[in-house]
Amino acid sequence: MGDERTRQSYDAVAAEYALHLSDELSYKPLDRALLGMVVEGATSGRPIADLGCGPGHVTGWLAARGVAAVGIDLSPGMVAIAARDHPGASFRVGDLRDLPASDAEFGAVVALYSLIHLTPDALPVAASELHRVVEPGGAVLVAFHVGEEVRHVTDWWGHGVDLDFRFFETELVAAHLESVGLAVEAVVERAPYLEEVATRRAYLLARRPSDR
């Protein structure tokens, strides 16, 4: 089944992924700025979740800013590396479509390039999980590759993988977030940085409406 392929693929590539990408925020100023906004706005003291955290470098970046940070990922191999490399954050194995988290547990959630492995029919389920686990008034930041392509990859840094990278139109993801009750506040698209795979990138900053 697709999820098992994704999990096994990321388990296989986890160590290499950490070696290649753990310092990526150093050359991604827009990502740092958006994550900084999320940190600035999360004032309730509840942790910030990094969903599909991979080797935990973004979780670690959040924790280094003085907030409690929790990374969650489908791949136990990724979670093991994240916990090893980022002792200041905590990590859980879990699925975006059925998150191991309680309702409104988090002050904000980010999901950078993790929705990209979901089939289109799973997007509404994941969107409703994002809405469920963030507290009222909390921010949701997602990032993905823009388009309609599905890029199938079988070799990644010499490791055999079986992965579908799904690109999404920005309006489609925004509509899914809005349909579960999240208010989309900002839509940003950018060209790739030189160090990145040459795809157009989108960021959506949304918010669960406050109860008040």
Are 173 and 115 in contact, with CB atoms under 8 Å apart? yes
**Nearest-angstrom CA–CA distance, 70 and 52:** 11
Instruction: Choose the stretch contacting ligand SAM; rule: CB under 6 A; options: 48-56, 131-139, 179-187, 197-205.
Output: 48-56
| CB of 77 vs ligand SAM, minimal distance in Å | 8
Are 167 and 144 in contact, with CB atoms under 8 Å apart? yes
| CB of 210 vs ligand SAM, minimal distance in Å | 27
Q: How many residues bind ligand SAM (CB under 6 A)?
A: 18
Q: Which of 75, 89, 108, 170: binder of ligand SAM (CB under 6 A)? A: 75
**Nearest-angstrom CA–CA distance, 158 and 143:** 26
Nearer to ligand SAM, 4 or 185 (CB): 4
- By residue count, the chain amounts to 212
Nearer to ligand SAM, 88 or 209 (CB): 88
3-state DSSP assignment of residue 59: helix
**Site residues for ligand SAM, window 2-41 (CB under 6 A)?**
6, 10, 21
In the DSSP assignment, the letter for residue 67 is S
Closest by Cα among 49, 60, 50, 51 to 24? 60
**Nearest-angstrom CA–CA distance, 24 and 28:** 7
The answer to whether 78 contacts ligand SAM (rule: CB under 6 A) is yes
Cα 156 versus chain centre, distance = 20
Give bridge partners of residue 12 from the DSSP assignment. Answer: none
The answer to whether 201 contacts ligand SAM (rule: CB under 6 A) is no
Binding letters toward ligand SAM, positions 94-123, x by CB under 6 A: -xxx--------------xxx--x------
| CB of 120 vs ligand SAM, minimal distance in Å | 13
| CB of 141 vs ligand SAM, minimal distance in Å | 11
The answer to whether 59 contacts ligand SAM (rule: CB under 6 A) is no
- Token output for 58: 């973004």
Closest by Cα among 19, 54, 25, 23 to 39? 25
The answer to whether 74 contacts ligand SAM (rule: CB under 6 A) is yes
Q: Which residues contact ligand SAM (rule: CB under 6 A)? A: 6, 10, 21, 52-54, 58, 73-75, 78, 95-97, 112-114, 117
